[in-house]
Amino acid sequence: MIKVGIIGASGYAGAELYRLLLNHKNVEIVAISSQSYAGKMISDLYPSFYGPYDMCLSQDQDVLDKADMIFASLPHGLSEKYAKVCEEQGKKFIDLGADFRLDKESDYQQWYQHDYQYPGLHEKQVYGLSEVNRDLIKKATIIGNPGCYPTSITLGLYPLLKNQMQKDEKIIIDSKSGTTGAGKSLSEDTHFPKCNESFHPYKIASHRHTPEIEQELSKMANQDIQVMFTPHLLPVNRGIISTIYVSLKDDVTFDEVYDIYHKTYQDEYFVRVLPKGKVADLKFVQYSNFCDISLHYDERYHQLIVVSTIDNMVKGAAGQAIQNMNLMCGFNELEGLMMIPASF
């Protein structure tokens, strides 16, 4: 049993983390915090927690004092100071924000307009894509939990790039996300009259997940990979679906690609490569930690089309964070994550 705390439990990802951890047999949730709602019950914000699942939101320091495993679900620029305290106290730290995702401070400065407060911490960070970095995660004390878009994209491309079956270094990615991906704070785009019965791209060629995507894909391919990434906002609560276009090498067949995907993920419980002819659908991963991948082939252009879908709040945030915790603590990797997606 490990004592767990959540800093930033009032946001969507933090509340989802709390919900999932309640079902984990190896953890005791000892404290949850919120700077804006300290002193309130979490059921005041999310009525589904009323009764036996309720807990008071406290100050951040309460989490640091009581927990041995700390999750931070905060906007970028706020997590480093908590990671520093955890390092000094020998506690494990998982950041669901962006502060520990990028290898280069220059990328963080360019895309997030912040400097590293504690550069030494970043030498210890591990990118928490569980299926790819499992061995590193097991030894880590600081995890940068991947972004939701990058999770769907990197898992969707990993087998192809690892085996260098793509023709060139340029990849086109078209992704769509539910509105929870924008966080709890209301904006013009997520205001109900604007997003309801609407569907539109945003931050075209300028989304902050772009350097994270290119960084991790380049590691997988062992060469520089460039992406043309366009995110869209769907009028649904949760889910991400990424459609990825990649030119194949001339001597690579679709059957070979399909076989490589199956071999790569055959022992990965949370990645499901669908049968040929099936199409991944975000509806059938919602509330689960699954990533569904379907593969399609355009004969005219010898091009692979990958469709990869996840629940942005689970595999794209809280679920993957728990999967990483399980690896760090030596628990069963599936513990607390055995949710079956709804069928309708």
Task: Answer yes or no: is 335 within a domain.
Answer: no
Query: What is the percent of the chain where pLDDT is above 90?
Result: 90
Task: Answer yes or no: is 285 within a domain.
Answer: yes
Name the domain count of the chain.
2
Let me know whether 193 and 86 are in one domain: no
Q: What angle do CA 98, 56, 75 make, to 5 degrees?
A: 15
Mean pLDDT of 164-183: 89
Confidence of residue 185 (pLDDT cuts 50, 70, 90): low
Let me know whether 254 and 124 are in one domain: no
The mean predicted confidence, pLDDT, of the chain is 95
Mean pLDDT of 202-214: 94
pLDDT of residue 344: 83
pLDDT per residue over 290-318, tens digit each? 999 999 999 999 999 999 999 999 999 99
The C-alpha atoms of residue 234 and residue 230 are separated, in whole angstroms, by: 13
Confidence of residue 217 (pLDDT cuts 50, 70, 90): very high
For residue 187, is pLDDT > 80? Answer: no
Let me know whether 217 and 141 are in one domain: no
Let me know whether 184 and 78 are in one domain: no
Mean pLDDT of 323-330: 98
Residue numbers of the domain that contains 25:
2-145+315-329
pLDDT of residue 236: 86
Strand partners, 2: 27
pLDDT per residue over 226-274, tens digit each? 999 999 999 888 999 999 999 999 999 999 999 999 999 999 999 999 9
Let me know whether 181 and 303 are in one domain: yes
Task: Answer yes or no: is 263 within a domain.
Answer: yes
For residue 194, is pLDDT > 90? Answer: no
pLDDT of residue 169: 84
For residue 186, is pLDDT > 60? Answer: no
Task: Answer yes or no: is 342 within a domain.
Answer: no
pLDDT of residue 342: 83
Task: Answer yes or no: is 324 within a domain.
Answer: yes
pLDDT per residue over 49-77, tens digit each? 999 999 999 999 999 999 999 999 999 99
Confidence of residue 195 (pLDDT cuts 50, 70, 90): low
Let me know whether 158 and 82 are in one domain: no
pLDDT of residue 182: 65
pLDDT of residue 88: 96
CATH number at residue 202: 3.30.360.10
CATH number at residue 324: 3.40.50.720
Confidence of residue 117 (pLDDT cuts 50, 70, 90): very high
Let me know whether 122 and 213 are in one domain: no
Which residues have a catalytic role annotated? 148
Let me know whether 285 and 153 are in one domain: yes
pLDDT of residue 339: 92
Let me know whether 201 and 304 are in one domain: yes
Task: Answer yes or no: is 8 within a domain.
Answer: yes
Let me know whether 165 and 85 are in one domain: no
pLDDT of residue 199: 78
pTM for this one?
0.95
pLDDT of residue 200: 87
